[in-house]
Amino acid sequence: MLRTFRIGGIHPPENKIASSSKIEVLPLPEVAYIPIGQHIGAPATALVAKGDKVKVGQLVAKSSGFVSANIHSSVSGTVSGIESIVDASGYPRPTIVVAVEGDEWEEGIDRTETLKEQITATPQEIVKLVAEKGIVGMGGATFPSHIKLMIPDGKVAEVLIINGVECEPYLTADDRLMVERGEEIMVGIKLLMMSIGVEKAIVGIENNKQQAIANLTALSKKYSGIAIQPLVVKYPQGGEKQLVKATINREIPSGGLPIDVGAVVQNVATAFATYEAVQKGKPLIDRIVTVTGGGIAKPSNFMVRVGTPISQLVEAAGGLPNGQLKVISGGPMMGKALPTISSPVTKGTSGVLVMPSEMATRPAASECIRCAKCVSACPMGLEPFLLNKLSVRKLYPELESRKVTDCIECGSCSYICPAGIPLLDYIRTGKSAVMHAIRTRKK
Amino acid sequence: MENQFIVSPSPHVHGSQSTQRLMLDVIIAMIPAWAVSIFFFGWGAVVTTLVAVVSCIAFELLIQKYLIKGPSTLYNLSAVVTGMLLAFNLPTNISPLLVVLGSLVAVGVAKMSFGGLGSNLFNPALVGRVFLLISFPVQMTSWPAPIASRASLVDAVTGATPLGIVKEAVKAGKPVSEVISSIPSYMDLFIGNMGGSLGEVSAAALLLGFAYLLIRKVITWHIPITIFATIVVFSGALWLANPEKFVDPIFHLITGGVMLGAIFMATDYVTSPMNPRGMVYYAIGIGLITILIRDFGAYPEGISFAILLMNAATPLINKYVKPKSFGEVRHG
């Protein structure tokens, strides 16, 4: 039986045009650009300097606090320096630049593709390895995964929820991973279950990925405790609050985390990365990136080393089409428009979406007709028309009382507004001002 | 030389609905009722509608250009919708001059003087209609007889509406059963073979429009269904208590302006509440007030007043009745 979340949601056209493109390993870049901040939290501290030789899998930047992550080199070669490179956010960030030479790996990493089913690590070792190998949330949020596996005092983990939803239109990286590397994912899920001490895992997959559902359902017979739950296709089901509601019918309270309702949520690619880290000793140095869009000649799913310039992926997919384009890192609903494609792929780059000119410009905005479609679309049950107006007028105390901090910035409101009002633009600025005020108050 | 890319904040895609498309869908939903009206009332239906639409467009154009001195707002088709809805609320034998006057009040007073589409407090077409009803009661309560009035305009053959017949009887102290024979059959009432406003007579055609609006996702079911349910429950209770003084609920649903009002007037975006719970309270209010006026008030029909009164309550409803938010535990 198909399940889903109840409040709000929209149905943008799915456009999963790359869904049957098999994963293709992209050749190594000539120069790799490895940012030291590829995760939520404090950027890592660089351990290498100009002239150092590095190998694949070598720790090149160390986690610098509780909410931070290790960064490993994805290539072998010589460090040419630590420079300020513009990343997907549009801002320059400190980046380790490596001139690539050969493909030499660190000792102790098992590069074979043979499945290693048998789990010898203890729960504590699993958490330690997840932290050590730099695993972060691969759905795009890049939250350091080991923190989620450390259950706070007073909370109990009952179930592990695996996010195989991939609700953004166009993106197919998780889909292909579930179809082609399903068994490794199952072992990865088992490892995660062990690390938090739960007997039960649910993999949520949207119903437009029939092959993935079939593959994992067949495998689940072999791996006890893992249930595959097909879900109605509805955006933003991949949001963790919506996914928890859809799979176990519990609503995370405002300001809370999944653990407050007994759940730990991890993306399916994070489960795969966990398998590689624990069973193969391989740190997070590569990921699948979907290159897609109407004008792309060869929509593809590439296995890419972190640090590869996005331009190389676009070339391999047939190059940029003509016209005034928009190039998005991520999906069309929450992705970031890139000012340049020379930026590198990072741990959180799930896709590169090239939009042709007719789709790249926004509709003209007119006055609000109070149709309340934004209210029906909002998955958090908020009133976007009101939050928008309050944000425009900078009425921050009332914004706070209207729960603007609950907004997950999914974009459903802007999407649905018949008057073309860019609701999320202002709500985002209002939310950011309110969160700043809350932080200042707490000090 | 690298391409220059367009950079703007997310989301980067947009849904297919636009204000203009929504208004067009409303116009399409009104076509069945308009067609039936032309069948029963002939030329009067055509002329009244055309005069109303042209006047509304003209007044909006003139006010926007010369008084407000802003860009034209006609592209969103709301002036056409207001014109058609106003026409639907008038008897087809009304003088075109009064139609122009009603349009001026609807567009100029009820809509533009409040700030245009999105800022009006009251339903513009209803304000136009009620203004005409109060200022020109004789012309506004002279109803052309169906079929017989087809070939004429202002001088059409007239007759009473079913609600009018019942109201007169009750005022004179006669039991309802005595006048039932002079009222058309339920099938006639459902199809629209009775006296009444241009767009209100045919429940069948209006319900077709309702289905279209639901399929095209222009409106949700909450307001019309709640109005129907409230009317059935309230008028049903009265009828069961005293069938000689009060007519049955089905009669209430298919005569007068309930169908037109519930489906097309009460559901106006700007003047109705903005979440399902609020919409239900609003619709209950409309149902109750309509029956109160019909069964106890001086007028035979009350839905126009009921909707306008609940329009006034909408800002209050929006302020205090909030949608169910994620993670909220509501008590009661």
State whether residue A372 sits within 8 Å of chain B by CB: yes
Pick the residue of B20, B326, B330 with the most A CBs within 10 A to test the interface with A by mutation: B326
Q: How many CA atoms lie within 13 A of A246 on its CB side?
A: 36
**B2 found inside a domain:** no
What's the confidence (pLDDT) of residue B1? 43
Q: Which SS3 state, helix, strand or coil, does residue A256 take?
A: coil
Residues A264 and A151 occupy one common structural domain: yes
Domain membership of residue B45 as a residue range = 19-139
Quote the pTM value: 0.93
> For B71-90, what is the mean pLDDT?
92
**A222 found inside a domain:** yes
**A135 found inside a domain:** yes
How does pLDDT run across B279-303, given as a tens digit for each residue? 999 999 999 999 999 999 888 889 9
**B297 found inside a domain:** yes
Residues B165 and B209 occupy one common structural domain: yes
Domain membership of residue A228 as a residue range = 123-280
**B264 found inside a domain:** yes
Sheet arrangement for strand A45-46: A45-46, A59-62, A71-72
> For A420-425, what is the mean pLDDT?
96
Return d(Cα A242, Cα A378) in angstroms, integer.
Answer: 11
State whether residue A355 sits within 8 Å of chain B by CB: yes
Inter-residue contact A56 to A105 (CB < 8 Å): yes
Question: H or E stretch including B52?
Answer: helix B43-62
**B72 found inside a domain:** yes
Q: A227 φ, ψ to 5°?
A: -110, 140
Position of tokens 């593709």?
A113
The nearest alpha carbon in chain A to B11 belongs to A333
Letter for the amino acid at A374? C
Of A257, A280, A303, the residue that ends a domain is A280
Nearest CA distance, A27 vs chain B (angstrom):
23
Confidence at B332, pLDDT banded by 50, 70, 90: very low
**B7 found inside a domain:** no
β-pair type (A59-62, A71-72): antiparallel
Inter-residue contact A243 to A265 (CB < 8 Å): yes
Contacts of A386 (CB under 8 A, 6+ apart): A402
Return d(Cα B194, Cα B318) in angstroms, integer.
Answer: 38
Inter-residue contact B279 to B226 (CB < 8 Å): yes
Helices (H) and strands (E) in chain A, counts: 14, 17
State whether residue B141 sits within 8 Å of chain A by CB: no
**A74 found inside a domain:** no
Residues B312 and B166 occupy one common structural domain: yes
How does pLDDT run across B245-276, given as a tens digit for each residue? 888 899 999 988 999 999 999 999 999 999 99
Contact A339 B5 (CB under 8 A): yes
Residues A240 and A381 occupy one common structural domain: no
Q: Please, what is the end-to-end C-alpha distance for chain B in angstroms?
A: 64
Residues B292 and B164 occupy one common structural domain: yes
Contact B15 A335 (CB under 8 A): no
What's the confidence (pLDDT) of residue B3? 65
What's the confidence (pLDDT) of residue A80? 95
Q: Which SS3 state, helix, strand or coil, does residue A85 take?
A: strand
Task: Report the phi/psi class of residue A84: left, alpha or beta, with left for phi > 0 and alpha for psi in -120 to 50.
Answer: beta
Nearest CA distance, A295 vs chain B (angstrom):
14
The minimal CB distance from A328 to the residues B12, B275, B326 is found for: B12
Residues B180 and B75 occupy one common structural domain: no
Q: What is the CATH number of the domain that holds A133?
A: 3.40.50.11540
pLDDT at A368 over 70: yes
Q: Counting one residue from A and one from B, how many pairs have CB atoms under 8 Å apart?
A: 148
Mean pLDDT in chain B?
A: 91
Q: Which residues of B touch A371 (CB under 8 A)?
A: 22, 269
Q: B21 φ, ψ to 5°?
A: -65, -40
Inter-residue contact B326 to A380 (CB < 8 Å): yes
Residues B183 and B103 occupy one common structural domain: no
Q: Where are the alpha helices (DSSP H) in A317-422?
A: 357-360, 373-377, 384-392, 396-401, 412-416
How does pLDDT run across A370-408, given as a tens digit for each residue? 999 999 999 999 999 999 999 999 999 999 999 999 999
Q: Exposure of B310 by Cβ count < 10 A (0-12 exposed, 13-18 middle, 19+ buried)?
A: buried
What's the confidence (pLDDT) of residue B179? 79
Count of Cβ atoms closer than 10 Å to residue B136 Cβ: 15
Q: Which of A42, A61, A22 is nearest to A284 (CA)?
A: A61
How does pLDDT run across A235-278, given as a tens digit for each residue? 999 999 999 999 999 999 998 999 999 999 999 999 999 999 99
Of B110, B139, B168, the residue that ends a domain is B139
**B187 found inside a domain:** yes
Mean pLDDT in chain A?
A: 95
Q: Which SS3 state, helix, strand or coil, does residue A289 take?
A: strand
The tally of domains found in chain B comes to 2
Contact B6 A360 (CB under 8 A): yes
Distances (CA, A) of A188 to A139, A294, B153: 16, 34, 80
The nearest alpha carbon in chain A to B121 belongs to A370
Return d(Cα A385, Cα A362) in angstroms, integer.
Answer: 18
Q: Which of A93-107, A164-178, B156-170, B291-305 has the lowest mean pLDDT?
A: B156-170
Nearest CA distance, B10 vs chain A (angstrom):
5
Q: Which residues of A touch B270 (CB under 8 A)?
A: 369-370
Distances (CA, A) of A283 to A129, A269, A347, B285: 9, 13, 11, 64
Q: Which residues of A touch B18 (CB under 8 A)?
A: 363, 418-420
Contact A416 B17 (CB under 8 A): yes
Contact A362 B21 (CB under 8 A): no
The tally of domains found in chain A comes to 2
Nearest CA distance, B38 vs chain A (angstrom):
31
**A90 found inside a domain:** no
For residue B69, give both structure tokens.
């001195």
Return d(Cα A323, Cα A346) in angstroms, integer.
Answer: 27
Nearest CA distance, B263 vs chain A (angstrom):
15
Q: How many CA atoms lie within 13 A of A356 on its CB side?
A: 8
Biggest CA-to-CA distance, chain B: 91
How does pLDDT run across A91-119, given as a tens digit for each residue? 899 999 999 999 999 999 999 989 999 99
Return d(Cα B220, Cα B136) in angstroms, integer.
Answer: 35
Q: Which of A335-344, B145-154, B206-215 has the lowest mean pLDDT?
A: B145-154
Contact A383 B2 (CB under 8 A): no
Please give the torsion angle defined by the CA atoms of residues B324, B326, B328 and B329, in that order, rounded to the nearest 10 degrees: 90
Residues A264 and A412 occupy one common structural domain: no
State whether residue A371 sits within 8 Å of chain B by CB: yes
Confidence at B187, pLDDT banded by 50, 70, 90: confident
Q: Exposure of A77 by Cβ count < 10 A (0-12 exposed, 13-18 middle, 19+ buried)?
A: buried
Q: Which residues of A touch B116 (CB under 8 A)?
A: 367
CB proximity under 8 Å: A 288-347 to B: 320, 324-328, 332-342
Residues B294 and B169 occupy one common structural domain: yes
How does pLDDT run across A42-84, given as a tens digit for each residue? 999 999 999 999 999 999 999 999 999 999 999 999 999 999 9
Return d(Cα A416, Cα A433) in angstroms, integer.
Answer: 25
Contact B327 A254 (CB under 8 A): yes
What's the confidence (pLDDT) of residue B331? 47
pLDDT at B330 over 70: no
Helices (H) and strands (E) in chain B, counts: 15, 2
Residues in chain B: 332
Residues B174 and B241 occupy one common structural domain: yes
DSSP B159-201: E--HHHHHHHHHHTT--HHHHGGGSPPHHHHHHT-SS--TTTS
Inter-residue contact A393 to A433 (CB < 8 Å): no
Distances (CA, A) of A364 to A376, A382, A425: 22, 24, 14
> What is the DSSP code (8-state) at residue A216?
H
Residues B183 and B274 occupy one common structural domain: yes
Residues B135 and B236 occupy one common structural domain: no
Residues A258 and A387 occupy one common structural domain: no
**A424 found inside a domain:** yes
Share of chain A above pLDDT 70, in %: 100
Rg value, chain A, Cα? 21
How does pLDDT run across A197-212, given as a tens digit for each residue? 999 999 999 999 999 9
The nearest alpha carbon in chain A to B326 belongs to A380
Nearest CA distance, B271 vs chain A (angstrom):
8
Return d(Cα B87, Cα B45) in angstroms, integer.
Answer: 8
CB proximity under 8 Å: B 91-130 to A: 116-119
pLDDT at A1 over 90: no
β-pair type (A326-329, A336-337): antiparallel
State whether residue B23 sits within 8 Å of chain A by CB: no
CB proximity under 8 Å: A 382-421 to B: 382-383, 385, 403, 406, 409, 411, 414-420
Q: Which residues of A touch B323 (CB under 8 A)?
A: 375, 381-383
State whether residue B71 sits within 8 Å of chain A by CB: no
Inter-residue contact A330 to A353 (CB < 8 Å): yes
Beta bridge partners of B214: none
Contact B10 A380 (CB under 8 A): no
Contact A370 B270 (CB under 8 A): yes
Return d(Cα A54, Cα B72) in angstroms, integer.
Answer: 65
Q: A33 φ, ψ to 5°?
A: -115, 105
Residues B170 and B291 occupy one common structural domain: yes
Pick the residue of B1, B3, B10 with the most A CBs within 10 A to test the interface with A by mutation: B10
Residues B127 and B193 occupy one common structural domain: no
Return d(Cα A404, Cα A427) in angstroms, integer.
Answer: 8
Contact A12 B270 (CB under 8 A): no
Residues A382 and A263 occupy one common structural domain: no
Residues A269 and A149 occupy one common structural domain: yes
State whether residue B69 sits within 8 Å of chain A by CB: no
Q: How many CA atoms lie within 13 A of A319 on its CB side?
A: 5
How does pLDDT run across B126-144, given as a tens digit for each residue? 999 999 999 999 989 888 8
Count of Cβ atoms closer than 10 Å to residue B213 Cβ: 23
**B152 found inside a domain:** no
Residues B70 and B218 occupy one common structural domain: no
